[in-house]
């Protein structure tokens, strides 16, 4: 079945540091890929998405490129802020997942001033 | 435009009891999905409803059941609660039921089973 694997966390960075959170997936066909963010005590918010190979999703300085050859969708940001502290989830939809989202385990990001 | 809302926000039940959680989808959305998020884990798909019909189900037992109403709001019912049912329950709505479509999440209902 479909699955998503995220890098082990937690990740702790200083403000203005470069961020990479790795995400790889296993799926049949051509899934859509998503990054969701969850702030403390809240539900999930869509951060960005890509629906086909080589697409780049971007939002609020975050970027991720859909790489079919490496089955990856790594999240990057050039300069993190304290306000980016949250849990980040990589997810896919499609393949054998008709419309449901299959999530990774999440990566906790803490940014210090 | 009103987003996805859920009620109640928190709930405490005892083992063996039954619970009903409610979700109002975003305006114009006809598809609702429910997820269970255990502490420190990613959300797990429970089931999805499209135009009042169940459209797919994850690996959850039959004591997890749901409904979708004509206004596309939805309920999640859990019978015979077990301690492991303690989790954040998330509802998500989408405009259509395709893989490309974004699912918009509510704030969740946190259920504690004692």
Token pair recorded at residue B74: 């939805």
Q: Is residue A99 predicted with pLDDT exceeding 90?
A: no
Flag whether pLDDT at A22 surpasses 70. Answer: yes
Q: What is the pLDDT of residue B36?
A: 98
Q: Look at residue A112 and tell me whether its pLDDT is greater than 80.
A: yes
Decide if B42 and A42 are in contact by the 8 Å CB cutoff: no
Of B41, B43, B97, the CB nearest to A99: B97
B60-96 residue pLDDT tens = 999 999 999 998 899 999 999 999 999 999 999 998 7
Closest chain B CA to residue A105: B42
pLDDT for position A97: 58
Q: Is the pLDDT of residue B101 over 90?
A: no
A96 vs A1, more confident: A1
SS (H, E, C) chain B: CCCCEEECCEEEECCCCCEEEEEECCCCCCEEEEEEECCCCCCEEEEEEECCEEEEECCCCCCEEEEECCCCCEEEEECCCCHHHCEEEEEEEECCCCCCCCCEECCCEEEEEC
The pLDDT assigned to B7 comes to 96
What's the whole-number average pLDDT of chain A? 93
Q: Which of the four pLDDT bands, split at 50, 70 and 90, describes residue A96? A: low
Comparing CB atoms, the residue among A49, A94, A100 nearest residue B33 is: A100
């Amino acid at each position: 079945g479909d699955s998503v694997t995220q890098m082990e966390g937690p990740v702790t960075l200083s403000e203005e540091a470069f961020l990479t959170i790795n995400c790889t997936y296993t799926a049949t066909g051509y899934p859509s890929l998503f990054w969701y963010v969850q702030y403390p005590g809240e539900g999930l918010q869509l951060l960005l998405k890509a629906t086909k190979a080589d697409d780049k999703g971007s939002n609020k300085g975050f970027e991720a490129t859909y790489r079919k050859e490496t089955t990856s969708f790594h999240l990057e940001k050039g300069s993190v802020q304290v306000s980016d502290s949250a849990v980040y989830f990589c997810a896919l939809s499609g393949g054998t997942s008709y419309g449901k989202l299959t999530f990774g385990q999440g990566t906790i990001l803490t940014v210090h001033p | 435009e009103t987003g996805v809302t859920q009620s109640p926000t928190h709930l405490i039940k005892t083992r063996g009891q039954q619970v009903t959680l409610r979700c109002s989808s975003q305006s114009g959305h006809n598809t609702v999905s429910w997820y269970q998020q255990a502490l420190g884990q990613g959300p797990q798909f429970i089931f999805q409803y499209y135009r009042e019909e169940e459209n797919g189900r994850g690996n959850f037992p039959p004591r997890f059941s749901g409904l979708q109403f004509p206004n596309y709001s939805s309920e999640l019912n859990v019978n015979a609660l077990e301690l492991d049912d303690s989790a954040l329950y998330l509802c998500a709505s989408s405009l259509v039921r395709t893989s490309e479509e974004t699912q918009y999440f509510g704030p969740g209902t946190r259920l504690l089973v004692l």
